[in-house]
Amino acid sequence: MKERTGLITFQGMPLTLVGGGLSAGDKAPDFSLLDNDLGEVTLSSFKGKVCLLVTVPSLDTPVCDMETRRFNEEASALGPDVAVLGISMDLPFAQKRWCGAAGIEQVKTLSDHRDASFGEAYGVLVKELRLLARAVFVVDQEGTLRYEELVGEMVNEPDYEAALSAAQKLVNG
């Protein structure tokens, strides 16, 4: 599997990403993730919707908590034609507990813990930590990647406005 360096850091420490990177215009790789009840969820199950894929290292950390809450608040304004998926390596049970405690209802949390196939396919699996890098991908109704942001420093938040705008533009045509 391809490894990439020099793209992200954690508190200034350089990290290695496993998997090739994606760019706007690429076909978004399908994936198989687990929902909070251990059900399988794939990208193809959202065909016809705009998907905002938000990857975080762990929901149990302050920045990931804040980020997921922010996307949860913004999700309802995007409307029913946008699916907001929060993806991490957290176990589904931990995601379910966290969502219940945080009142998360608009973001569907999904776990890549089983085989890290999402992380590898999207190029956001952090080799040293076996966590996902902080990133945002927007996939259009036909499964094409239209926006991507890999956050360079893992403790920083993404550009919310740019990601939300990219999703909204796809809904509005």
pLDDT tens, residue by residue, 78-117: 999 999 999 999 999 999 999 999 999 999 999 999 999 9
Yes or no: say if 136 and 105 are a contact pair by the CB < 8 Å rule: no
- DSSP 8-state code for residue 133: P
Annotated catalytic residue within 8, 64, 121, 138: 64
- In the chain, DSSP finds a helix count (H) and a strand count (E) of 4, 11
Q: Where are the domains of the chain?
A: 3-172
- Average pLDDT on 47-58 reads 96
What pLDDT sits at residue 92?
Answer: 97
Residue 67 pLDDT > 90, yes or no? yes
State yes or no: is 99 an active-site residue: no
Q: Domain 3-172, CATH 3.40.190.10 — does that match?
A: no
pTM of the model: 0.96
For 104, counting Cβ atoms within 10 Å of its Cβ (0-12 exposed, 13-18 middle, 19+ buried), the class is buried
Task: For the chain, state the CA radius of gyration.
Answer: 15
pLDDT tens, residue by residue, 135-153: 999 999 999 999 999 999 9
CA-based diameter of the chain, in Å? 41
What pLDDT sits at residue 173?
Answer: 76
